[in-house]
Structure 1
Amino acid sequence: MRECFYGTSRFSDFAARTGLSDAVVATRLKHLSGMGVLERRPYVEPGQRGRFEYHLTERGRGFFPVLVALIQWGGAYVQEGDGVVQLTEIRTGQRVRITASGADGRALAPEDIAVQPRRRPDGSAQRP
Structure 2
Amino acid sequence: MQRTSFSDFKCPVARALDSVGDWWSILILRDAFQGLSRFDDFQKSLGVAPNILTRRLKHLTDQELFERRLYHQRPARYEYVLTDKGRDFFPVLMTLFSWGSRHIPEEDLAFLLGDTAGKSRQTVLVDTRTGEQVTPENTSLLAGPAADDEVRARIARMRAWYLGIDA
Counting only pairs closer than 5 Å after superposition, residues 1-128 of structure 1 correspond to structure 2 as 1-44=29-72, 49-77=75-103, 79-81=104-106, 83-90=109-116, 92-102=117-127, 103-120=129-146, 125-126=147-148, 127=151
Distance 2:68 2:47 in 1: 21
Asked whether the 8 Å contact 1:42–1:51 carries over to 2, the reply is yes
Q: TM-score, normalised by structure 1?
A: 0.83
Residue identity matched to 1:112:
N
Partner SS state of residue 17, structure 1: helix
Runs of 5+ unmatched residues, structure 1:
none
Tell me how many residue pairs correspond in the alignment. Answer: 120
Runs of 5+ unmatched residues, structure 2:
1-28, 156-167
Query: After TM superposition, where is structure 1 displaced by more than 4 Å over at least 4 residues in a row?
Result: none
Partner SS state of residue 97, structure 1: coil
Identity %: 32
Distance 2:86 2:121 in 1: 19
Post-superposition offset of 1:87 = 2.2
Q: Which has the higher helix share?
A: 2
Post-superposition offset of 1:54 = 0.3
Distance 1:12 1:101 in 2: 37
Asked whether the 8 Å contact 1:65–1:98 carries over to 2, the reply is no
Change (3 A) 1:55 1:98: same
Distance 1:76 1:51 in 2: 39
RMSD: 1.9
Q: TM-score, normalised by structure 2?
A: 0.65
